[in-house]
């Protein structure tokens, strides 16, 4: 079982220039004060950005691995779901950069993240 399953992440939608996933605010995703854990938000952001890159590379020649992630946690969430929307800022040959916004069930911005993914030649990691 991977991180996305442990945290309860689910697909919401995939479009031509975006991806959407949601994650529950639950005992698995909160910090001691009962708020959504920043690490869980980052995990959702990295998951959706990495999958976005996976969907656009040639998987017979390349793999995609997280290179950098940052996040600004803007609003606390105590219950319900957060939904992440990822849009590509750059889809280059050796790196991708994703803009990811997390919102609560009311549509209020919870977190803004930028995720950089390295595109690595599969033969170089054997």
Catalytic residue set: 46
64, 120 Cβ separation under 8 angstroms: yes
Q: How far apart are CA 123 and CA 120, in angstroms?
A: 9
Q: Quote the tokens at residue 64.
A: 């995609």
Q: What are the φ/ψ torsions at residue 9 (nearest 5 degrees)?
A: -70, 140
Residue in this structure with the two tokens 């909160």, named with its chain if needed: 30
Chain CA centroid to CA 60, Å: 23
What DSSP element (H or E) covers 45? helix 38-56
CB 50 within 8 A of CB 67: no
């Amino acid at each position: 079982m991977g991180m996305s399953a442990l945290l309860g992440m689910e697909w919401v939608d995939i479009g031509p220039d975006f991806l959407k996933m949601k994650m529950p605010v639950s005992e698995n995703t909160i910090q001691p004060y009962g708020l959504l854990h920043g690490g869980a938000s980052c995990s959702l952001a990295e998951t959706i950005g990495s999958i976005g890159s996976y969907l656009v590379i040639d998987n017979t020649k390349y793999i995609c691995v997280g290179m950098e992630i940052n996040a600004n946690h803007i609003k606390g969430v105590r219950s319900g779901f957060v939904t992440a929307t990822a849009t590509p800022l750059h889809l280059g040959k050796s790196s991708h950069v994703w803009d990811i916004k997390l919102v609560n069930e009311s549509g209020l911005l919870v977190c803004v993240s930028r995720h950089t993914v390295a595109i690595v030649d599969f033969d170089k990691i054997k």
